[in-house]
Amino acid sequence: MTLRSVLASVLACSAVGFSLTAAPAQVPAGGPSAGAARVSADDAVESVLAMTVDGLNPEALRILGRDGTPHLHALMDAGASTLNARTENELTITLPNHTGMVTGRRVDASGGGHGVTWNDDRRRPSTVQAAAGKRVESVFTSIHEAGGSTALFASKTKFSLWKRSWPLSIDTTRIRLDNTTLARSVRRDLQRRDRVFRFVHFSLPDQVGHARGFMSKPYLRAVEQVDALVGELVDTVGSDPGLDGSTAIILTSDHGGLGTSHSDARRLPNYRIPFMVAGPGVMPGTDLYALNPDDLQDPGARRTRYADALQPVRNGDLANLALDLLDLDALPGSEHNATLDLDVTPAG
């Protein structure tokens, strides 16, 4: 079954008040169900579309529901997800968390992390490697070395750090501050270019959250607007025979937020985020913690530590999950999902 057919069925059933599948984890998620067998990533995946919604507090999805965010709910129903994932432990701000997503590393350089502790356009350190004091590879470098094409689409200028850090591995970089313009650029790229990996960053909820308050009515409207943009990209994939059936979609966030800030990494509204994956072989409507009872633990409301024996799903799992879906090895020096244990497909 293709992603398009799954999403079409989900949206049709939502319109009459029921779902084909069990709902994914809510906020906070409950304990994992027992006994789910695990298998490796599906061989049918030939490309990955990774999306992040900056400042997406998962509580917004509960408040808005399926009527307000139909496309994000359809994505959850179409694949494996949780609304109780975690950010990087050290910081709940944009650039450090996004850099963790593409490197699979924690922030703290002394602990093997990527070292990006700032959240602005500074040029010193000029690269991730300079911040870490060592070679740091990314999902872009691994895919480029395997012969695949990559692209970065971001709506904040600070992401230019990545192009400086991996200049030969990111084939196309588009930074557009307007989210609608950015989505249009991504749609054109999906329609015209053959790529293995695309990373897309939407900033609107974060921008409105800082200006008007996270979880305010204007913020919730911004989440609805980005939901529509996500839906446009998912529909572009589903309507293209060359992409539908071979493209996996991953969506997460860098942090949540409450009030006008998200910088206190000790607060639940800041460190709790969504994580979703859908595509070939991913069982519709499954819970990531239920799929991974031996390797992951639903943290409830806890912040968690890197030293915990069982980790939560983290946004930093994105890089190695994408590589696993593409049948590539984990990133050298990475920590998050470095053993490729984040399973998204139950045994048939």
User: What secondary structure letter does DSSP report for 337?
Assistant: T
Which is it for the CA torsion 67, 71, 74, 76, positive or negative? negative
Rounded CA gap, 208 and 37, in Å?
A: 42
Which homologous superfamily does the CATH classification assign to the domain defined by 3-16+45-119+127-301+310-325? Alkaline Phosphatase, subunit A (3.40.720.10)
Of the candidates 173, 172, 175, which has an alpha carbon nearest to the alpha carbon of residue 194? 172
pLDDT for 253-267, tens place per residue? Answer: 999 999 999 999 999
Q: What is the mean pLDDT of residues 18-27?
A: 33
242: amino acid identity, one letter: G
Q: Is it the case that residue 55 has pLDDT exceeding 60?
A: yes
pLDDT for 333-348, tens place per residue? Answer: 999 999 999 999 875 4
pLDDT value of position 344: 96
pLDDT value of position 293: 97
340: amino acid identity, one letter: L
pLDDT for 116-166, tens place per residue? Answer: 999 999 999 999 999 999 999 999 999 999 999 999 999 999 999 999 999
Q: What is the pTM of this model?
A: 0.90
CA distances from 313 to 51, 118, 156, 182, 290 (A): 16, 24, 25, 28, 12
pLDDT value of position 345: 87
Q: Is it the case that residue 79 has pLDDT exceeding 60?
A: yes
pLDDT value of position 37: 30
pLDDT value of position 240: 97
Write the DSSP string, 176-226: -SSHHHHHHHHHHHHHH---SEEEEEE-HHHHHHHHH-BTSHHHHHHHHHH
Rounded CA gap, 109 and 240, in Å?
A: 42
